[in-house]
Structure 1
Amino acid sequence: MAMANFVEATSQQQFEEFLSRAGKNLTVVHFQAEWAPQCGQMNDVMAELAKERARTTFVRLEAESVPEVSEKYEISSVPTFLFFKAGEKVDRLDGAHAAELTKKVQRLAVSGSPEHGGAAGGADLNQRLKKLINAGPCMLFMKGSPQEPRCGFSRQIVALLKEHNIQFSSFDILSDEEVRQGLKTFSKWPTYPQLYVNGELVGGLDIVKELAASGELENTCPKAVTLEHRLKTIINQSPVMLFMKGNKEAARCGYSRQTLEILNETGLDYDTFDILQDEEVRQGLKTYSNWPTYPQLYVKGEMIGGLDIIKELKESGELVSVLKGES
C-alpha cells in the first residue's frame, strides 16, 4: 500500500513542493537509480521507517531524471540521502547504510540538528572547508552560481572576475548551511561573497573592487586559461581518457556504467573525468568534439566515440589495439 509520507518526486517543482509542505518536520530525500539494486534495498528500509514516523516525509528521486536537483546538491553517486528541515539541508548520508540512515532519521526527527561530536565534528568541518578552499586556484564562495547569482554582491563580484578574464571555481553557500556558518568562523570574515586564491582569503566584494581599480586583480588571481587549452590538457591527461557521468567507482548513467564494464574487461589502464562536476567542460567538449552526448572516449588525444562505437570495436575484436593506440 502507498503511504502518504513515502512519495516520489519526478520534477524539481515537485521536490520543492514536498520540502515546503513538510515545513519544520524532517524530509528525507533518497537520490536513487532504477538500475542500482542497493537503491531498491534502501527503499524497503525507508518504507519501514515511514510506517514508524508519520510526521517525517520520505521522498524517492530518480537522480538522472531530475538533474537540476542532483547537480544543485552535488550528488555524485547513488544511493545518497539528504535530510531537510524548513527547506534547508541539515545532513547528508552517502551510500547504502541502513543502520546509519535509521540512526540519522531518529536523531533528526527529534533534535532537529545533526549530531556533531564536539571537537571531532569541528575538526571534520575544518578538513572539509580546507578541501573546498583549495578545490581550485581561485575559489569564490557566493550565494547562488555564476550563472544565477542570488544576491547583488555575488552578482557584482562575478561580473568583475569575468570582466578581468579571471577563471574561478565557485561554491554556493546557500546549498550548505554547515559550510556557510563554518567558513565565517574559519576565515574570520562574517559576510559573503568570499574570494580565495591558492587557499588564502583575499576578501569580499570591496577588496576585489579595490584590486580591480588598482590593476592588481590580474596579478592576485591566476589568469584564465582558454577553454580549448583546458580541454586539450584534460584530454591528454592520460593515454586513455573517458569523459562520463560519475566516476570509476560510481557511474551516474546507464551508458557510462556499460562503458566502464567494457573498459574494465580489457584490463587496460584508463582515467575518467566526471562531466557532472564541471559544466564548462560538459558543454565545451560537445562543441570541441562535435559529439553531443556522453560518455566520450579519447585515446592519445584523439576522439574514438561513445558507447555504440566502443561496443562495435569490442565485437570486432579491435578494442584493445585501439586503446593501446596501435590502430
Structure 2
Amino acid sequence: MANLVEATTQQQFEDFLARAGKCLTVVHFQAAWAPQCGHMNEVMEELAKEQPHTTFVKLEAESVPEVSEKYEIASVPTFLFFKAGEKVDRLDGAHAPELTKKVQRLAVSGSPGGAAENSTEDLNQRLKKLINAAPCMLFMKGAPQEPRCGFSRQIVALLKEHSIQFSSFDILSDEEVRQGLKTYSNWPTYPQLYVNGELVGGLDIVKELAESGELENTCPKAVTLEHRLKTVINQSPVMLFMKGNKEAARCGFSRQILEILNGTEVDYDTFDILQDEEVRQGLKTYSNWPTYPQLYVKGELIGGLDIVKELKESGELVSVLKGE
C-alpha cells in the first residue's frame, strides 16, 4: 500500500514528511514487544485504504531515538499528526476510535464546503467536553508537576497554595485544542482557568481573585490526599495502579501483571500513576509499598508483580481477586 510506509532512520522520517506536503501524515511510534502496537497497525491499514491522500508511517521508537526524543515519546503506541512538516496533533495510547476520529477530522480540515464546517462543529463539541471534564479545569503548558512556562508555573502554585482541586490539560500536546480554545472562548493567551464550564480567566485574574480572597469561593476546595487515595483505591473491587492502562502498558512489569490478570477473567479497573504525580507519590507512603504496579482487592493491598506471580503459581489468585 503506497501510503502505508515504514521509517527506519531520521532521514527517512523527514523525507516522508517533506513528500506529504500539506497533506496529513500520521506517524505511529511503536515497539515490536508491544501487542497493542500490532493491533493499532491493523487499524492504520484500514485507515490507509479509506484515506488515500494521507501518509501513514510506522516507526520503531527505540530504533530511531533522536526522533523519539525530539517529540518526547515516553510510551508506545503514540501517534503524531503532521501537516506541511509541522506537528498539529498527538494521541497517546491504543485508542482506535480516537485515532480514526482524528485522522478523519484532520484529513478534511481546510477543505472547502461542508467538511470544514463539520470539522469546526466537531472541535467545538470536543472543547466543550474538555472544559467540563472537571469542576475546575486548567488549560496550561505542560502538567502541574512539570509546567513548561512561567505563567503556567505561577498559576499552578497559586491554586495549590489556596488548596484548589483542579484537573489540567496540556495545550502543547494538542495543537488543535490550543488554537481552537482561543477562538471558542475569545481569550488569546494561556493559561486559561475554567470553573463549572465557564471561563474565569488567565494568570492576572487568578492573582486578583487570590488577593481579594475570592479565589476559594470561586473554585472548589481540595479534599485531603488520604481521602482521595481511599476513594481511588475503592473505586472498584479490584484496582490495579500501574504505568499506563489496560490498552497500553508503559513498562514491562505493568505489561506482565496485565497478562496475568487478563488470564483470570476477573473484572478489574486500572489507574495510570503516570498521569497523576500526587497519587503516584502519595500511594507509596499510604501503603508503605515503594514500587509499581500495586494491586488492591476490596481496598486492601495485595502486592506487586512478584506476589501476583506467586499467587498464580499456587492457584490462589482467582480466589484472592474475588475476595474469598
Could you say what secondary structure the match of 1:266 adopts? coil
Structure 1 unaligned residues grouped into runs of 5+: none
> Residue 239 of structure 1 contacts residue 301 of structure 1 at CA under 8 Å; is this kept in 2?
yes
> Residue 93 of structure 2 contacts residue 248 of structure 2 at CA under 8 Å; is this kept in 1?
no
- Partner Cα distance (1:281, 1:34) in 2: 31
Q: Is 2:168 the counterpart of 1:207? A: no
The Cα shift of 1:135 comes to: 2.4
- The farther-off stretch of 183-192 and 298-307 is 183-192
Structure 2 unaligned residues grouped into runs of 5+: 117-121
Could you say what secondary structure the match of 1:159 adopts? helix
**Residues 242 and 213 (structure 1), Cα distance of their counterparts in 2 relative to 1, 3 Å cut:** same
- Partner Cα distance (1:246, 1:68) in 2: 23
**Residues 290 and 37 (structure 1), Cα distance of their counterparts in 2 relative to 1, 3 Å cut:** same
Deviations 1:283-310 (A, max 9, x none): 3223332333322100121111112211
> Residue 244 of structure 1 contacts residue 294 of structure 1 at CA under 8 Å; is this kept in 2?
yes
The Cα shift of 1:217 comes to: 0.5
> Residue 10 of structure 2 contacts residue 66 of structure 2 at CA under 8 Å; is this kept in 1?
yes
Q: Among 168, 181, 184, which residue is 1:183 paired with?
A: 181
- The farther-off stretch of 12-21 and 288-297 is 12-21
Could you say what secondary structure the match of 2:28 adopts? strand
- The farther-off stretch of 52-61 and 216-225 is 52-61
Give 1:1-327 correspondences, 5 Å limit: 29-37=27-35, 39=37, 78-84=76-82, 88-92=86-90, 118=114, 124-326=122-324
Across the two proteins, how many residue pairs are aligned to each other? 319
Q: TM-score, normalised by structure 1?
A: 0.72
- Partner Cα distance (1:239, 1:110) in 2: 44
Deviations 1:209-236 (A, max 9, x none): 2211221101111111222221111001
Identity %: 91
> Residue 88 of structure 1 contacts residue 177 of structure 1 at CA under 8 Å; is this kept in 2?
no
> Residue 89 of structure 1 contacts residue 175 of structure 1 at CA under 8 Å; is this kept in 2?
no
- Partner Cα distance (1:127, 1:107) in 2: 13
**Residues 244 and 147 (structure 1), Cα distance of their counterparts in 2 relative to 1, 3 Å cut:** closer
- Partner Cα distance (1:56, 1:283) in 2: 42
- Partner Cα distance (1:33, 1:261) in 2: 17
- Partner Cα distance (1:238, 1:38) in 2: 24
Could you say what secondary structure the match of 2:176 adopts? helix
- The farther-off stretch of 75-84 and 310-319 is 75-84
> Residue 239 of structure 1 contacts residue 270 of structure 1 at CA under 8 Å; is this kept in 2?
yes
- Partner Cα distance (2:300, 2:63) in 1: 31
- The farther-off stretch of 9-18 and 173-182 is 9-18
> Residue 276 of structure 1 contacts residue 282 of structure 1 at CA under 8 Å; is this kept in 2?
yes
Could you say what secondary structure the match of 1:141 adopts? strand
> Residue 171 of structure 2 contacts residue 178 of structure 2 at CA under 8 Å; is this kept in 1?
yes
- Partner Cα distance (1:65, 1:186) in 2: 40
> Over the residues paired in the alignment, what is the CA RMSD in angstroms?
5.4
The Cα shift of 1:197 comes to: 1.3
> Residue 10 of structure 1 contacts residue 65 of structure 1 at CA under 8 Å; is this kept in 2?
yes
Q: TM-score, normalised by structure 2?
A: 0.72
> Residue 89 of structure 2 contacts residue 175 of structure 2 at CA under 8 Å; is this kept in 1?
no
Could you say what secondary structure the match of 2:146 adopts? coil
- The farther-off stretch of 99-108 and 172-181 is 99-108
> Residue 109 of structure 2 contacts residue 115 of structure 2 at CA under 8 Å; is this kept in 1?
no
